[in-house]
Amino acid sequence: MIYMSNRVTQLLGIQYPIIQGAMQSVATAKLAAAVSNGGGLGVIAAGGLSADKLREQIHESRDLTDKPVAVNLMLMATNIPELLQVILAEKVPVVTTGAGTPKLFIDDLHAAGIKVIPVVPNVKIAKKMVAIGADAVIAEGMEGGGHIGTLTSQAVWPQIADAIDVPLIAAGGIADGRGVVSALALGAEAVQCGTIFSIAKESPVGDNWRQAVINADDTSTVVVGQNVRVASRALKNAETTALLQVEADQADRAAFNQRLDTALNKAVREDDAENGVMYSGQIAGLIKASLPAAEVVTYLMADARKVQAAMVQL
């Protein structure tokens, strides 16, 4: 069975091998706690938060669940030292990292008993992360929402699985049982999903964002920021069209990033589905309902078991 003898569930102290991906401005304490209460691992996104806000979010998550809740550090942020102090003081059980290497502080986290799981886009970076002591790696294919690499899930998962001896968590393009089973077949021991959780009931996004995901089809997303090395996948709208023009005009990387952050906040806080940026993966076309986060976890598990049971014997 999918959930038996799983190194990831044991490592993280969770029931099911389902992780809610960090989502800047979207993966709040409320969403993360709901996922953890459902037996998966919820992750609070620290991207865009001050140290005080992160502490508040950690405390809020602990008011909502006694299960483990992780924190994600986007290493492009300029306040990483302050965020790390909060993570160490609060003894957060698990930290996932993106957009950089946790090399300089992984020993401090381990000394505090914190598991460290970097998100990686290719074999070379996966091996580097294992060499510095990562407890597991999350391999994310370019079909996923948010910041992405260049390889597809189908290609990158098995190649990373063969290159590492720590558990592999697969991300990018998973929103049903077929996705979960395909990840396991390609060498993963758990999955991380973003887009399907982005419109869970406990997510802070508004009705326009929810409806945009529900209405999306397989070609509704676009990658912006490739020219300035911040490739990010989002639902196509007026803002992504404008961003493509900005990067064609040789935008400055920092300024582009700033505009992305502002537009993401506009989408979350004002529910502006045209002038905001709604990060989403290509799998948005498969998502047809906004469910409570715990139901997403049970749906993914039940559907995966159904798919496994119905598979043709070779």
Ligand X SMILES: Cc1cc2nc3c(=O)[nH]c(=O)nc-3n(C[C@H](O)[C@H](O)[C@H](O)COP(=O)(O)O)c2cc1C
**Is 280 among the residues that bind ligand X (CB under 6 A)?**
yes
Q: Which residue of 8, 26, 44, 260 would you call a contact of ligand X, by CB under 6 A?
A: 26
**Is 40 among the residues that bind ligand X (CB under 6 A)?**
no
Q: Which residue of 42, 93, 146, 285 would you call a contact of ligand X, by CB under 6 A?
A: 146
Stretch that binds ligand X, among 100-108, 110-118, 122-130, 192-200 (CB under 6 A): 192-200
Stretch that binds ligand X, among 33-41, 56-64, 77-85, 186-194 (CB under 6 A): 186-194
Stretch that binds ligand X, among 76-84, 136-144, 235-243, 247-255 (CB under 6 A): 136-144
Q: What is the residue-wise DSSP string for the chain? A: -TTTT-HHHHHHT-SSSEEEPP-TTTS-HHHHHHHHHTTSBEEEE-TT--HHHHHHHHHHHHHH-SS-EEEEEETT-TTHHHHHHHHHHHT-SEEEEESS--TTTHHHHHHTT-EEEEEESSHHHHHHHHHTT-S-EEEE-TTSSEE--SS-HHHHHHHHHHH-SSPEEEESS--SHHHHHHHHHTT-SEEEESHHHHTSTTS---HHHHHHHHH--TT-EEEE-GGGT--EEEE-SHHHHHHHHHHHTT--HHHHHHHHHHHHHHHHHH--TTTS--B--GGGGG------HHHHHHHHHHHHHHHHHHPPP-
CB of 311 to ligand X, least distance (A): 22
**Is 193 among the residues that bind ligand X (CB under 6 A)?**
yes
Residue closer to ligand X by CB (options 140, 271) is 140
CB of 209 to ligand X, least distance (A): 9
**Is 177 among the residues that bind ligand X (CB under 6 A)?**
no
CB of 312 to ligand X, least distance (A): 26
CB of 314 to ligand X, least distance (A): 28
Which residues lie near ligand X (CB under 6 A)? 21-24, 26, 45, 47, 72, 74, 98, 119, 140, 143-146, 171-174, 192-195, 198, 279-281, 283
